[in-house]
Structure 1
Amino acid sequence: MRLWVTVCAWVLFNVAFAWEVWRSPAEGLPSWPGPVRDCVAVGDLNGDGKRDLAVGGADTLVRVLSGADGTVLWTFSVLNPVFPEGSDVWCLAAVPDLTGDGKEEIVAGTSGNLLFVIGSDGTEYWRVPADGDFWCLCLAGDVTGDGFPEVACGAGDNRVRLLDLKAKRILWTEAVGIEAGGGDVWDVAGGYDLNGDGTPDVVAGTGNNLVIALSGKNGDKLWTYMAGSDVWRVAFGGDVNARGVPDIVASTAIDHVVCIPSELDAGTRLPLWTAKEVVDAHVILVAPDYTGDGFPDVAVGGNDDIFRLLNGKNGDALWTYTALGAITDALLGPDVDGDGRTDLIFCTEAGTLTAVSAASGTDSAPFWTYFSDIEGAFVSLAPLDDLDNDDRNDMAVGSALGFVAAVPGIMPLDSVEDLVCVAVEVHGGPGTRLTWTDSPEAAAIRISEVTESGAVVIADVEAGVQTLDVPAAGAAEVRVFLAVATGDRGDSKPEECTVMLTPPAVVEVTCGADPSGNTWAAWVLPDPGLRVLDAVKVFRDDVLYATLPPTATTIELGTLDPGDHTTAVYTVWEPWDSPPHTCWLWVRDPNADVAFRRGDSNGDGNVDIADVIKTLAYLFRNVEVYCLEAMNVNGDTKVDIADAIRLLQYLFREGSAPPEPFKACGAVPGASCDYYPFLNCP
């Protein structure tokens, strides 16, 4: 399954989860320089008894990986020198042995206007040119009768081609929908005889709103269905109308999935059923008959973040599952719950891989969800053999961040819940207490600390204990811990918690001075949690002034020199201090006159209506003022309502300006200015 995803060209390093079977590139190595576009299971190419994996990406390479451990067996370059900037591998398929070595070959469609057939040893077998990207391909059944399936492919030059791989020839090329303006071929399906001539035919979905059936024998159009928008996916479903031929399930860009009669004489070819409100379904997976009505059901996923199972007979939704992102691919997984039915696996653009029950994929009951450890879309899925010996096949998922991970098919352990880290006294010194709730089926909880050199295991705590005290290590003020549930089925996804060993800061600090000039500071202590404070430190003007008992909430600072002063209060957990909480205090020089601006009643550096309001508040509500002389707008010996009126006349009636100091700051000897300095005044 292809998905248009681009990533920036930074180097990402892989960090595999413990319950992955393997990751390629391996843990600690840089990711590949570009997103994975598609991956497909191939036969056992290296003879180790396990199916291997072909991977195509945006870095011009097809890689074949060992299905057993993810090592790269070989690479093949699809670079077209004519289009060096555009040689992504969009689609892959494995085909039966063409060379006689008993191993499958690989077909790769690229954005460099070339399709390659690659031998099982990584050498080129054949190439096919086009005038556009090869978007899709499929095995189309044995058209020539030579015992080998042909391959149908769709390209951006509006054409479908049928390829005889064994003979290295193009059987036919058919332009689709040219009369309707042309359109890329987004998907193809084949393998069924639609016109009764004994030859399997081909169905294509196009970017010019068509589903087209083509004769496998010569490429002639058998019928056309107008879908109304781009057709993203086509697949053969069940024989809904009982005409002896599987009908076509197609998804469109107008939020519909439709079932179309496939036989030649269907007349107006009205849909047999329509499933609406399926937004841009780029995933169609024909599933087993889960309902027992004789028709295979259909799983679909779209850009509305919903994975649905539709009844193959009538299109009704059997269930829906709301995911964390757009659905990008799906496959039939193992029987996860042992109920005898194949369950469903799907991946999303949000970097999640989820297994849901075929019986009921409701939001509340996924078997498991695997999360990528780094943010980036999962774009393609492929089945793998049983790698972890649990009697269930596993799977590979390709990431837009340039790696493939092999993930077990059976549900991994649930993670611990409610993991909390708090600072406490441990063995008479600073430390951390971890608490959590065990996950079901966990035999133990492995606690690790994240350090610069990686995660270091601290302890394996027996299930049921659910707490651990850890003493401080070194001088680190911030500690990060991981908790992983371990058991017979492997390890869970790690949960993380972080603790600050620095104490909580005081809630607030207030500075002030009494009438005689003595200054003081007061504060509110925080709740220290499970560890008692060791002390309180007070800094005056950035110099340690006093270290006080941990219960202290006030201090006398003495007489301060005129000017600005700061007082900062820290709480202490030895050897760490909290962030400071600071207050500021301005001490007036009693021998100096304060510079002010007449009319600036609130001292904000401006003369405006706010100063009128401040004057009125002083006169009628007894609020504190900065400078009485600044309110004396008319320059007489008192502050009264006449000053407010004079300022209003100046502001709104073109009245005369207040007397100086007005245009510029100035001082009046003996004026009553007892508080903070005025803004914009020296």
Structure 2
Amino acid sequence: MDRRVLFATLILLAGGATGVGVALFAFVGVDDATTETTVVWESEPAAGDDGSGAAVATVDGDPLLLRPAVENGSRVVRATVAGGDETTWTVPISGPDAERGGGDANGSDGDPSGVSGLTTGTLGGDPVAALTTAPGELVVVDAADGTERFAVDIGGPGGLRPAIGDLTGDGTPEVAAVGTDGSVRVVDGEGDSVTEASLSGDIDRRPLVVEPDAEAGERGGIAVMTTTGDPATVHLLDETGEARWTTTPNVNPYSWNAADSRDGSVLVLGGTSGNIEAVETGDGSDRYEVGLQDLPVEVGDADPGTVYVGGSGSVWAVDLLDGEVVWKQQYGASTRINEPGVGDTDGDGELAPVVVNRAGEVLAMTQRGKVTARGGPDAVVYGGPLFADVTGDGGDEVIVVADDGTAIAADT
């Protein structure tokens, strides 16, 4: 075991600011015995996106990698069998090949494109992919063959990744999209309007669907962040488009996500100054604020009770209930880590965190923060990890998409 392996109990004086939590955590180091990842598949490039717009959909049990791309000067979405060479379909997306300002909807830098990143989900029992275009359309296609399911006007300029989720709790998911001018549009699985709203201020973050919890008596909603307020305003709209509550967060938001804790759902905001804030979805009240470092942090996925956050050279597991930093893992010196993801990489049915940094290095961990594998391609990567069973062994491989659209699957 080399000197990088440190197990110690540390006190994190989180930013030293009044009202910012003090967290007790274990620093978990990387062992020399850690397994190296193995590249098991590499796709052809897909020019036209910086790699952050890709998504995975499962069709008849088989994973498809979906990527925004430019083909013969036109904007398209391309579907490739994950682990194979076959491109199953390519569908053109109408509208000019215009830039969508502001980078990725989660705050990532990189080359702009005329469409948003892709969101995958299920509508009417069918796997679908959704995006918005810079001119202001929400486009939803069937993941099986690329057939356009519907295209609707969102009421303002688009380019931000939409969300798919069950807003009302009736078992039928909806699609939520926002325009950068403050417009909000929610449609059902057929493209018919459910909700329309217009908010003051611009929108530069993707919307979030907060699904209701009937057992806990919690209502659902659409979380939207606008640039009004200081530094921003968070709105939770109900199924009619009316505001259930609005609040001004303490952090200057850089990223955000919705997550379930052991005591209700929360919105987790990652700040430009390295702190995170949890906001109750029930009433918009502040649950806690915790400082992690003094650089922007990316809020990623969560498993029950824990959210994973990436920063400059570090990843944290934060307890959603009280903000305790459960563990911190460092790797890649000061290279920025993209938003963490969770996947079943060993096929045991348990989701565990995986991160990839801007240099393409993958780090797979257990829920306790122990590193199980590291390595990956030598590539510029702006998006978080994707997951698919590329080898058919019952566990997920980690898919990393480089800035030229090349997808690399790594076995951990």
Regarding TM over 0.5, the answer is yes
Aligned to 2:115: 89
Provide Cα deviations, 1:20-62, integer angstroms capped at 9, x if missing partner: 222111xxxx663552232222122xx5x42222222477221
Provide Cα deviations, 1:441-468, integer angstroms capped at 9, x if missing partner: xxxxxxxxxxxxxxxxxxxxxxxxxxxx
Q: Give the Cα–Cα distance (whole angstroms) in 2 for the partners of residues 337 and 164 of structure 1.
A: 34
Aligned to 2:87: 72
Amino acid at match of 1:407: A
Offset of 1:105 from its aligned partner? Answer: 2.0
Q: 1:319 to 1:42 in 2, by over 3 A?
A: same
Instruction: Say which of 302, 306, 329 aligns to 2:339.
Output: 329
Q: Give the Cα–Cα distance (whole angstroms) in 1 for the partners of residues 262 and 218 of structure 2.
A: 18
Offset of 1:158 from its aligned partner? Answer: 1.8
Alignment of 1:513-592 (within 5 A): none
Instruction: Say which of 165, 172, 175 aligns to 2:189.
Output: 165
Contact 1:162/1:170 (<8 A) preserved: yes
Aligned to 2:278: 259
Provide Cα deviations, 1:44-88, integer angstroms capped at 9, x if missing partner: 2xx5x422222224772211111241521111222413x545553
Q: Give the Cα–Cα distance (whole angstroms) in 1 for the partners of residues 254 and 380 of structure 2.
A: 26
Instruction: Say which of 364, 367, 370 aligns to 2:372.
Output: 367
Contact 1:160/1:173 (<8 A) preserved: yes
Provide Cα deviations, 1:474-532, integer angstroms capped at 9, x if missing partner: xxxxxxxxxxxxxxxxxxxxxxxxxxxxxxxxxxxxxxxxxxxxxxxxxxxxxxxxxxx
Offset of 1:154 from its aligned partner? Answer: 2.7
- Correspondence 1:312 to 2:313: no
- Correspondence 1:24 to 2:43: yes
- Correspondence 1:346 to 2:352: no
Offset of 1:144 from its aligned partner? Answer: 8.8
Q: Give the Cα–Cα distance (whole angstroms) in 2 for the partners of residues 398 and 256 of structure 1.
A: 28
Offset of 1:165 from its aligned partner? Answer: 2.8
Aligned to 1:407: 410
Provide Cα deviations, 1:219-275, integer angstroms capped at 9, x if missing partner: 1111112114235213133154xxxx42322223343211122224x6xx2x22111
Q: Give the Cα–Cα distance (whole angstroms) in 2 for the partners of residues 24 and 219 of structure 1.
A: 42
Contact 1:37/1:57 (<8 A) preserved: no
Q: 1:75 to 1:112 in 2, by over 3 A?
A: farther
Contact 2:299/2:309 (<8 A) preserved: yes
Q: Give the Cα–Cα distance (whole angstroms) in 2 for the partners of residues 354 and 378 of structure 1.
A: 15
- Correspondence 1:250 to 2:269: yes
- Bigger CA radius of gyration: 1
Q: Mark the runs of 5 or more structure 1 residues left unpaired by the alignment.
A: 1-16, 289-295, 411-682
Aligned to 1:486: none
Q: 1:127 to 1:34 in 2, by over 3 A?
A: same
Q: Give the Cα–Cα distance (whole angstroms) in 2 for the partners of residues 213 and 356 of structure 1.
A: 33
- Correspondence 1:281 to 2:297: yes
- RMSD of equivalent CA atoms: 3.0
Q: Give the Cα–Cα distance (whole angstroms) in 2 for the partners of residues 70 and 307 of structure 1.
A: 34
Aligned to 2:51: 36
Amino acid at match of 1:50: D
Alignment of 1:118-517 (within 5 A): 118-119=141-142, 120-129=144-153, 130-141=155-166, 143=168, 145=170, 147-166=171-190, 168-176=191-199, 178=200, 182-193=201-212, 200-208=220-228, 209-216=232-239, 218-228=240-250, 229-230=252-253, 232-240=255-263, 245-264=264-283, 269=285, 271-278=286-293, 279-288=295-304, 296-302=305-311, 304-324=312-332, 325-334=335-344, 336=346, 341-361=350-370, 366-373=371-378, 375-385=379-389, 387-408=390-411, 410=412
Aligned residue pairs total 352
Q: Give the Cα–Cα distance (whole angstroms) in 1 for the partners of residues 158 and 95 of structure 2.
A: 12
Q: Mark the runs of 5 or more structure 2 residues left unpaired by the alignment.
A: 1-35, 101-112
Which protein is richer in helix relative to its size?
Answer: 1
Contact 2:167/2:212 (<8 A) preserved: no
SS at match of 2:261: coil
Offset of 1:117 from its aligned partner? Answer: 0.8
Q: 1:164 to 1:97 in 2, by over 3 A?
A: closer
Q: 1:134 to 1:163 in 2, by over 3 A?
A: farther
Q: 1:251 to 1:57 in 2, by over 3 A?
A: farther
TM-score, normalising length: structure 1: 0.47
Q: Give the Cα–Cα distance (whole angstroms) in 2 for the partners of residues 275 and 212 of structure 1.
A: 22
Contact 2:55/2:66 (<8 A) preserved: yes
Offset of 1:213 from its aligned partner? Answer: 0.9
Q: Give the Cα–Cα distance (whole angstroms) in 1 for the partners of residues 368 and 40 of structure 2.
A: 27
TM-score, normalising length: structure 2: 0.76
Contact 2:261/2:321 (<8 A) preserved: yes
Percent identity between the two aligned chains: 18
Amino acid at match of 2:115: V
Amino acid at match of 2:181: D
Provide Cα deviations, 1:343-373, integer angstroms capped at 9, x if missing partner: 2111111222211232134xxxx32223323
Q: Give the Cα–Cα distance (whole angstroms) in 1 for the partners of residues 165 and 322 of structure 2.
A: 27
Q: Give the Cα–Cα distance (whole angstroms) in 1 for the partners of residues 227 and 313 of structure 2.
A: 23
Q: Give the Cα–Cα distance (whole angstroms) in 2 for the partners of residues 337 and 104 of structure 1.
A: 23
Amino acid at match of 2:307: V
Amino acid at match of 1:346: V
Offset of 1:299 from its aligned partner? Answer: 0.5
Aligned to 2:19: none
Offset of 1:407 from its aligned partner? Answer: 1.8
Q: 1:239 to 1:207 in 2, by over 3 A?
A: farther
